Chains A and B, each alone.
Chain A
Amino acid sequence: MTQSVNASANPSPSAPPPRYEGQSLEISERLWWIVIGPTLWALHFLACYLTAAIWCAKYAAEADSDALLLILVAIYSVVAVAGIVVFGVISYRNHRRGCEALPEDLDRPRDRGRFIALAGLLLALLSLVATLFTAAVFVLVRGCH
């Protein structure tokens, strides 16, 4: 329950301080829920960049083709896109959960959970676009140069 502050009486001085924070929060109501999508983008971005940089610096000259690089990037991209989509769908469901009509701006205190879900959904969409941008580069360039 959200309400956990012990306000009824002065606790005895020797009693350990009561726990206050977060006992009722689900994972999807934590602040870091909203950064999962962008984090997946960041990991995908970094993996693609580092793989390409290392491949081009170390192995491209010896290899017959860049197929291995492209296969690796394809695997990263499928995993990242799948992760972002799953996360986006969960956010969307949480956002729509239990509500009649959508309130205009999620600005009531009790809209907090659905606000976090909305932010998560929007960031998932942005991350999806940015991840596809990165993947598209490999489709278009197909090699080191």
Chain B
Amino acid sequence: MSDAEETRRPDDGEPRDGEPRDQEPREQEPRGEAPAGSAERLLKAWHTPEGWRYWSAVNNSEVGLWYTLAAFAFFLFGGVLALVMRIQLAVPGNDFLTAEQYNQVFTMHGSVMMFLFAVPILEAISILLLPQMMGARDLPFPRLSAYGFWCFLIGGVFVCGSLFFGVAPRGGWFMYPPLTTEYHEGVGPDIWLLGLSFIEIASIAAAVELIVGALKCRPPGMRLNLIPLYAWYILVVAVMILFAFPPLIAGDMLMELERAADWPFFDAQRGGDPLLWQHLFWIFGHPEVYIVFLPSIALIAMIVPTFARVPMAGYGWIVLAAVGTGFLSFGLWVHHMFTTGLPGITIGIFSAASQAVAIPTGVQLFCFIATLLIGRVVRSVSLLFVLAGLATFIIGGLTGVMVAVAPFDYQAHDSYFIVGHLHYVLVGGTIFPIMAGFYYYYPVVTSKQLSERLGTVSFWLMLIGFNVAFFPMHLSGLWGMPRRVYTYAEGLGLEIPNLISTGGSFVLAAGLAVFLWDVLRPKSKQPLVKRNIWNAGTLEWVAEVPDRPWGIRSIPIIKTRYPLWQQPNLLADIDAGRFYLPDAEEGLRETLVTSAVDAEPMQCLRVPGPTFLAMFAAVFTGGVFIFSTYHWWWAAGISGVLSLGTILTWLWTGTAQIPEKSHKDVGLGLTLPTYVSGPRAVGWWAMLITMLGDITAYISLVFGYFFFWTVHETFPPQQFDGRPVIGPGTLWPMVALALAGAAWAAVLGARRSNRKDRAGAFYGTLVLAIVLAASAGVAFVWGPLARGMDPTHHAYSAIVCVLVLWTVLHLAVAIVMLLYCGARRLAGRMDGRHDADIVNVTLYWHFMLLTAAITAMVIGLFPLVS
């Protein structure tokens, strides 16, 4: 420790026990005033573009708002579809919809609510609020957020639009084959597969953003035990998205290959198995329930302390609940498949895990109840929705424990009991908390308040309407009404509960209409709210009234969980610019990057400003998926090239820029670097997280291979359909692996020579790596090609070919990355000290080598031992 630091150590603190790790963080008190003109410079740097250029904004407050509005619009669309269904089911034998129309409507209702509303709105709210809660100016990758939003919007409009042309998917939101692979002509399933895959990519982009944001963009001093609970939940959820969505993307890829190219993954006649889809879908689908539930509970965790006027009771227990639920939720997927004839022991394992998950889920509810009990509760519409959400969710959770018991599930499966159960879970666990969040956070976003009176009306209509609509479904289900039927016969005793459900659904819709009116009604004459209107304790309530685009005037030092309650003068010091980064001397957008555990300042991160590139990239990426749906391969190819070009331009002009100075004074006497690479850089973390998702998708494909092994007597089979089943052999996969390994070594060499500024060696090893990688790709393809493998012959041939295809595509991306690094160095945008590009590409190559090794060993060696 230097002398200068020694002198700053506080001597008035509490007695210390001598262990450095237990010390308080350095007492760095705000002092002095911000430099003259700093506020103007800061405002200018964070100025929101105006006119048509408004749509080039990438800042979290704009993108988050658009994202929220778009997701909410899809929610209303899904809600209208629900009303249409309820009209059809109001009376027996109704002909309001045909069976075909009804199938499209219920499929779209489920898909829209899950993929276009529940997941996106929680990402949207997080993008909007998470930086505010952590006193950050923005998330680390604003353009990635914008790209995700535009992908979501384009994909969502495309998928929803199909309904108006009568070509919407009609296989249910889980699209089970063989119904969707063999019996559905037309583009409906393709729209679902490609359109939603496109949106899933946007979700993964948001997950990367939120993980890095929650871990690395906290204010100085906000140690792990001081993080707002919302950030804990979002961290867990983002990690769940990372491991849950890739299996579905892999499944989508397999099903689309089956539909477009006749590769028989799910065709039982050619060695495939429809259950593989169910596994891949539900490995995604069950965590998905918690992916939409936890962020909503996170909103509750922010709202409850504010209205109870006390800090949350059992902070550590809530962290236990969030992390524990996140883990256990991955051990439940088979409980959606209890009736598929799996071995009893498998059913038992998943039934037990389904019971176990009730423990952490219950723990957090007890914490909320305890907080309300020890506090002095203040009445508000927001809190009403919280209470309704908790009660409703508990009912849904209890019926959930019922259906987790396999013998009961055999009776209730695919009946309206399940429809009732899942709506209690999702409306109680997601919709009501989001409504609470809307009432609570509306003033932060708009500086106006929603009407408490209209809110109370809306609340009672929604609560009563919901229960009247969905409670009878438990009964109609137990009385024998199956799901997904467009009508039912008279005289089965189903008339009354269905009519009541329909009536309730319209009361619920009326409640939403009141809410919608409250949001949309003109408020220009309504006065602005006072700042921190609810007297909350967390940092997002620092937001000024009217709101300023800079996010926060200066980034404070945090020492408590509820800084606005527990740190005196905090607001005044923030506003006076007495903390970090009160200025933007260079006119650049800047925020702080801090360490993951202790939030010690590490870097002054320059975040990019407005651009249309993210929107264009999304349009072109969308083109690839949308044109592929109609098999317009040329258009899709051109769109792909344009998309690649746009993304490369975006990376070239917006990432890893060499700064004008290596260090910068960020205020309070602290100087931080402006450029870092490797594990200290946010870009490195983004690559790592993305590749974890990527490898998860790949492992899902490998799972498919071994799944087929378990369902066949001999796998690979000797002969099928009168022809021998051909494999890729052992030699060429091994040659490919050797070449990929050599390419990886050359990449390591290139990174090393770049760091030592040996340009000749760098370019030499780089070219070598490219040649070796290309040769590895050729060797991977050569095995199947030379031996005449036909991917349409048998599921074995298909799964081998898809593993090869995946590996070769990744090698192609790897080559593009290497070319990019070469160009960066040639253009003087990368050198020995500024080496983030090649370091990140090396990280990609570690995963590349792992992928190549697994592919080679599975396709080349496993047939020898099986």
Residues of A whose CB lies within 8 Å of any CB of B are: 1-11, 13-14, 16-17, 19-22, 24-26, 29-31, 34-35, 38-39, 41-42, 45, 48-49, 52-54, 56-58, 98, 105-113, 115-116, 118-119, 122-123, 126-127, 129-130, 133-134, 136-138, 140-141, 143-145
Contact = CB atoms under 8 A, between A and B. Distances in A.
B328 A130 contact: yes
A118 B215 CA distance: 20
B359 interface: yes
A126 B710 contact: no
A9 B225 CA distance: 31
A105 B314 CA distance: 7
A119 B224 CA distance: 11
A20 B595 contact: yes
Among B215, B595, B598, B672, residue most surrounded by chain A Cβ atoms (within 10 Å): B598
A7 to B, nearest CB: 5
Contacts, number: 207
Contact of A138 (B345, B669, B671): B345
Given A112-B223, A133-B353, A144 B343 contact: yes
Given A11-B671, A45-B331, A141 B710 contact: no
A95 B660 CA distance: 46
Contacts of B330: 42
B670 A1 contact: no
Contacts of A115: 224-225, 316
Most buried by B among A6, A10, A41, A133: A133
B226 interface: yes
A22 to B, nearest CB: 6
Nearest to A17: B673
B317 interface: yes
A145 B347 CA distance: 9
Interface stretch (B318-326, B418-426, B814-822): B318-326
B602 A38 contact: no
Interface string B106-134: 00000000000000000000000000000
A123 B31 CA distance: 42
A131 B672 CA distance: 46
B320 A134 contact: no
Contacts of A110: 22-24
Interface of B: 1-5, 17, 19-26, 215, 221, 223-226, 311, 315-317, 319-320, 323-324, 327-328, 330-331, 343-346, 348-353, 355-356, 359-360, 559-561, 595-598, 600-602, 661-663, 665, 668-673, 675-676, 680, 710-711, 833
B598 A112 contact: yes
A113 B20 CA distance: 11
Given A107-B315, A133-B355, A123 B225 contact: no
Given A52-B345, A109-B226, A129-B359, 19 more contacts: A1-B20, A2-B21, A10-B671, A17-B662, A21-B602, A49-B349, A53-B710, A106-B316, A107-B226, A107-B561, A109-B24, A109-B559, A126-B328, A126-B359, A127-B327, A130-B356, A134-B353, A137-B349, A145-B344
Contacts of B595: 20-22
Contacts of A4: 600
A41 B356 CA distance: 12
A4 B670 CA distance: 11
A83 to B, nearest CB: 15
A21 B710 contact: no
Contacts of A118: 316
Contacts of B5: 3, 7-8
Nearest 5 Cβ contacts at the A-B interface: A115-B225, A8-B4, A17-B673, A137-B348, A38-B327
